[in-house]
Each structure stands twice: as structure tokens, then as C-alpha cells.
Structure 1
């Protein structure tokens, strides 16, 4: 078996299969190259690149095709067209989007299992009708374990901190969380929720379930701490008008 380089280049390798030794032996090899490196490869298909970079896009969905082209050039000395890079990115994002939608579809079963093993805990999921089609899509999710509720009510100070962060997925959304302060001045998680966005409607829904579960109304002797989240101030005034609401000093200093 013989393999050569491009026309006019002396690079050559020749080998053969040895039946007696059951091995392949290279019998001659010339490693001299006089041709320039070929920066294209037909095996670098859109399917291969989307599979290779799918985990990269899972960690950073905003990773640009320009950075992908640079990475291919650095690792594999491979040059691809801009359109091929876009197709590879779209294919990788399509794979990720499909897997995330499948995972969200299993939330109902997940909550049912939680209710079986935590019958006194508070779990809630809200769906809404999709704009196209007859199926429903996920909107809100609330998780409040009974053990955390009892720990806050019997072992924490009357202080609740609120915060929210973005969910870096294709479906977007935000994670809302509440924490208390125990008598050792340590943070104590209370409950959390996944919502479409940080606004009055989302906070009002979250606070309604939270304060009903904690039996707090109208919130006298309760202090709330937050980072000026959108819609939170008005939602707390509507739900617990007797609570004192203050902004986090660390966030005020940082901003």
C-alpha cells in the first residue's frame, strides 16, 4: 500500500501487510515536503464540527463563529468558510435546544416524584398555552421543601433576602431565590423558583406561594433585603405591606 502527497511533492510512504507476523510494516518513507499545507479537509463536515463543539456551545451559547474558526485553525490547521461555520453552529444549537426541551417536558414527572417523597412540601408548576399549536409550554416552577421551611420558621431570624440570576439556556428565564439568616449569622436557603423573566408578575407569583407557605401576613417584624430587582418592591408592598424593605449594602456599593 502506497500513499503520496500532492502532485510534484516527494513525500511518500509505503507499507505492506505481513501475514506470517499478522502486522503491517512500513518499508519505505520519505518525509520531505515541498508543497504548502492544505488548509481544507473534506472530512471536516458540518455534522462533525457541530458534534465536536456541542459542549463548547452548551457552556457558552454566545460563542461566535469567528472564535470557532480561530480554534479550528489553531488545533487542526483547518480553514472553513464562514457559511460552513454558521451551519455548524446552528446544528450544535439545534441539538442542545432539543435536549433542553426534552428535559423541561419531564418536569411534571419530577415534581410528582418529589410530592411522593415530600408530601408536606410545596411544589408548583405553571404551564401556558403556546402561540402555535395546541400543546402547553413551561412558564413557572416553585420548589419549597418542608424541611427548609421549618428550619427558617424555628431557627432563623426574621430576615429574608431575595435575588435573581439569568439562566443561560436557549429558553432563557431566571432563577429566583430566597435565603434567611440563622442564629450563627449564616445563610439559610428557603425556596427558589424558575420564571420567564424578572418582573412584577413573576415576583408576585413567587411571593404569593412563599408567604402563604411560611404563613407570613402582613409581614410585621419582618425585614426584606434585595438588590432593587425589577418589580420586587411593588410586589412585596402588595403581599406583605407590614414588612420593612431594605437594599443590600454590598450591591449599592458595587453599583
Structure 2
């Protein structure tokens, strides 16, 4: 129920006027009673990992914590299902996209993802992780687990598409030194259109990005200039 609807319902039922702030606090209290506090949810992460391992034989599920003054604090959580791993190895192109998205709300952090492309050129999930911060250490941990799961070796015959996340490029270079590196055209275009607007430049950008012949790419780049 939206806060405005909640405010109107209280007025109609109890003939009491309440502010939106009071409605927000009441709703938060009610949700905490129903779902439990966020701290309690994180305390169950070990049980969650055990349930995943029992229900999905052969998968990888790892929990990382930091200890301070006798207390454990959540650091990171990795999941790689065996079915996804086998599907990528047997039926997908040797292309992996690495990206991350910041978590919003009371508990911060980032979700890191590895995706592939199947034979129909559709997005194929491979593995993901939730980490406390975006940094080289967490990206290295995520990619190291991914390399072990998919038996990627040093990256021979592999293409990785990534963007300029903090520490990601260095982690990839250290763990997969022989891969072919590409940057995400969509992210590049997002920065491009901030300065260069218009449908003509947009069309030329994607024409260059989709070029499969070097001469066509260079000709389109000259048009953009």
C-alpha cells in the first residue's frame, strides 16, 4: 500500500490524521515484524548457502565474512549453479560479460554478474555474487571463482566484455592474461551521447560498433569526425 493510500485509510477508519512520515515509520515497523530485520536476514546467510548446496549438487556457493572483535560481518557471497556452468561450456559462445550494479536501500553493496550469449544470441546467466564494496579484491575473488568453475585457464580463446568498474580491469588482466578484451558498446554510447546528441550521430555510432570489416569501421569513424 502506498503511503498516501495508507494515510487516507487511517483517516477513514479511525478519524485520525497522520503525516506521511508517521505512515512510513509504521510501515517499516510492520514489515520488520513480518519479514524480520535485515541484520537477522544476513545472519541466516550460512543456512541459505547450505540449502543451495543440498538442493543443487555440483554447484559452487561460497560465503565470505570479516571478523572484528569476535563478531563476523558479511563481506561477499558467490553462487555458480552447475547447470548454468555446464550450459555455458557446452552451448554458448566463449564470450563473457562482466558487470556490477550497486544495491540501493538500507543495506548497501554491489551485485556482480557474469553473463554469456547462447546460440540464439540471448543473454545467458553464468554466476553472480553480492559483495560489500566494489574494489579490486572483491572483483579478483569473483573472477577467480569464475575461472575455477568454468576451467578458463589463462583465457586462451576467450573474449571478456567489461566496463570501467573499480579494480575490474586489473583483476581480469592478472587472472586471465591471454584473453581478448572488449568494452561494452552500450556503456560507451551512454557516455558518448552526453556530449554528442542527435539521431544521426547515434546511428553512426552503432554503425561503427556493428562493423565487422576494419575498412567499414574506419570509414564510419571518419563520418563521425
Change (3 A) 1:220 1:90: farther
1:126 aligns with 2:74: no
Match of 1:142 in 2: 78
- 1: distance between equivalents of 2:149 and 2:21? 50
Match of 2:185 in 1: 249
Q: CA deviation at 1:78?
A: 3.7
Alignment of 1:38-117 (within 5 A): 76=11, 78=17, 85=21, 89=25, 92=28, 96=32, 99-117=37-55
Give aligned pairs, total. 185
SS in 1 for 2:93: strand
Match of 1:180 in 2: 116
Give TM-score scaled by structure 1 length.
0.64
- 1: distance between equivalents of 2:7 and 2:30? 21
Specify every segment of 5 or more residues in structure 1 that has no aligned partner in the other structure, as ranges.
1-54, 57-67
Match of 2:100 in 1: 164
Q: Which has the larger radius of gyration?
A: 1
Give TM-score scaled by structure 2 length.
0.72
Change (3 A) 1:79 1:94: closer
- 2: distance between equivalents of 1:193 and 1:218? 21
- Name whichever structure is richer in strand by fraction: 1
1:228 aligns with 2:164: yes
Match of 1:30 in 2: none
Specify every segment of 5 or more residues in structure 2 that has no aligned partner in the other structure, as ranges.
192-225
- 1: distance between equivalents of 2:83 and 2:63? 20
Q: Deviations over 1:1-50 (max 9, x none)?
A: xxxxxxxxxxxxxxxxxxxxxxxxxxxxxxxxxxxxxxxxxxxxxxxxxx
SS in 1 for 2:94: strand
Q: CA deviation at 1:104?
A: 1.2
Q: CA deviation at 1:162?
A: 0.9
Match of 2:155 in 1: 219
Query: After TM superposition, which residue ranges in structure 1, 4 or more long, deviate above 2 angstroms?
Result: 75-80, 88-98
1:239 aligns with 2:175: yes
SS in 2 for 1:103: helix
SS in 2 for 1:234: helix
- 1: distance between equivalents of 2:54 and 2:122? 31
> Pairwise CA RMSD of aligned residues?
2.9
